Amino acid sequence: MAVVVSSSKSRIFVAFFLFGLLNNILYVVILSAAVDLVGSSTPKAAVLLSDILPAFLVKVSAPFYIHLIPYHVRIWTLVALSSLGMVVISESPILGWKLFGIGMASLSSGLGEITFLQLTHFYLETHSIAGFATGTGGAGLAGSFVFMLLTNVINLNVSTVLLSFAILPFGFIFGFFWLLPKPVLGEYLELHDEEGLDQHTDQDDEDEVHVSEQIVHPSKFQKGSLKSHFNETIAKIKPLFVPYMIPLCSVYISEYVINQGISPTLLFPLDELPSWLFSSYRDIYVVYGFLYQLGVFVSRSSIAYVRIKNLYLLSILQFINVVVTLSQSVFQFPFHRIWLLLILIFYEGLLGGFSYGNTFMSVSEEVIKSEREFSMGCVGISDSLGIVVAGCINWWLEGYLCSIQVGKGRDWCLGK
């Protein structure tokens, strides 16, 4: 049953911007700290897989049970998992415990993305999706920049920096319980409309926002077997594969192969680089991460103005970037200086952000309203699957590329 509640468009945008920012910022910070967490001798894919595999498992299983969990329970779970995870990461000297903490933060990120993408269905989608996409892009920019600033420039201890980020998830509480409209708090209107038709509680059409009692009271299983529920869920997912999930997944495979498998080997002699920014080879990896996230932020924040309908075009362009960066790693071609490569990394981020934002905007425009909440959560599986596949590739790829470079007399990837 749906109700319509008046709320300002700016309030919706700000709330979802905050959700996107907080949900993704720890993920970005953890990837930015990959070299610091595992060292130069361990594949950065160890961090990538720990940072995404739990999120992927949540996303791929969520369509079968997520409707049973009230939104307010999800919010408290996000806060607990992400904050405790950052404490474990920052305080434990043991790699296994660090990876466990990363996994906790990953569970929070996966659950959060599903939760907030589904929540957009109950609000003005052009503003809620744009706000969430911009927030996730802002998380990449803010997380990578702040980490680079505090560690590269100010030279603070990495553990201290990571611990400070454990405070941020408490912002979910403010955003959900105070910033969003009252129905999220359970103060919804009881309607006597048996068919669940929209009714107005305020005649200000400009500020209409659609909210559902599902936010407070989750759906229950309908009568029937568990097997029937499983088959029905799979049948609802299948139509989403070709138009939305495959192109988004392929873009993420390409960009995370670049980010975690190839970019740690895209190195140049330190004496050719400005010392105020690059004092070690580790710093090059951090700067790449920042520029990638800058591109993501620019493209995701422009989703309300730049619409790209051909999602497969973005997949092709991102794969071309894989080929170019592989050539650079193996042959030091086509870039003989770092500056043009930095522009390419920024462009890679642009493509990734455009793919993410335009995919979910297309879902909101093309999927019928009764299936939209479910579809938003399901399509979110795609990016995590792409990152998991990339992580598996990178476990082998980074070491292989480094061995090629060492064989050619370039041992920079060893941290020397």
* pLDDT tens figures, 122-144: 887 778 898 999 999 889 888 88
Top-confidence residue, 3 or 224: 224
Q: What is the pLDDT of residues 72-120, one digit of tens each?
A: 999 999 999 999 999 999 998 888 899 999 999 999 999 999 999 999 8
Measured from the Cβ of residue 197, the count of other Cβ atoms closer than 10 Å reads 9
CA-based diameter of the chain, in Å? 76
Model pLDDT, residue 185:
37
Nearest to 349 by CA among 33, 126, 49, 31: 31
Tell me the angle at which helices 125-148 and 9-32 cross, rounded to the nearest 10 degrees.
30
Alpha carbons 270 and 56: distance in angstroms, whole number: 37
User: What's the rounded mean pLDDT across residues 183-211?
Assistant: 39
Nearest to 208 by CA among 3, 1, 365, 4: 4
Does 222 score more than 70 pLDDT? no
Could you give the count of Cα atoms lying within 13 Å of 187 in the half-sphere of its Cβ?
7
Tell me the angle at which helices 71-91 and 9-32 cross, rounded to the nearest 10 degrees.
30
Q: What is the pLDDT of residues 280-289, one digit of tens each?
A: 888 898 899 8
User: What is the 3-state composition of the chain as percent helix, strand, coil, each rounded to the nearest 5?
Assistant: 75, 5, 20
Phi/psi for 267 (5° steps) reads: -115, 160
Task: Check whether the bond before 269 is cis (ω within 30° of 0).
Answer: no
Alpha carbons 89 and 95: distance in angstroms, whole number: 9
Does 3 score more than 90 pLDDT? no
Q: What is the pLDDT of residues 338-354, one digit of tens each?
A: 999 999 999 999 999 99
Pair of tokens at residue 75:
């919010």
Task: Please report which confidence band the pLDDT of residue 218 belongs to, taking 50, 70 and 90 as the band edges.
Answer: low
Query: Angle at CA 210, nearest 5°, toward 204 and 213?
Result: 130
DSSP tag of 272: G
Q: What is the pLDDT of residues 358-368, one digit of tens each?
A: 999 999 999 99
Does 195 score more than 80 pLDDT? no
Q: What is the mean pLDDT of the chain?
A: 85
Q: What is the pTM of this model?
A: 0.76
Task: Please report which confidence band the pLDDT of residue 219 belongs to, taking 50, 70 and 90 as the band edges.
Answer: low
Pair of tokens at residue 46:
């160890």
Top-confidence residue, 148 or 70: 70
Percent of the chain scoring above 90 in pLDDT:
53
Q: What is the pLDDT of residues 356-415, one digit of tens each?
A: 999 999 999 999 988 988 999 899 899 989 998 998 999 899 999 999 999 999 999 887
Contact 365, 308 (CB under 8 A): no
Alpha carbons 307 and 235: distance in angstroms, whole number: 29
Please give the domain boundaries of the chain with CATH numbers for all domains.
5-185+195-220+236-414 (1.20.1250.20)
List the single range of 116-125, 265-274, 308-317, 356-365 with lowest mean pLDDT: 116-125
Model pLDDT, residue 197:
37
Residues whose CB is less than 8 angstroms from the CB of residue 271 and which lie 6 or more positions away in sequence, other chains included? none
User: What's the rounded mean pLDDT across residues 243-260?
Assistant: 96
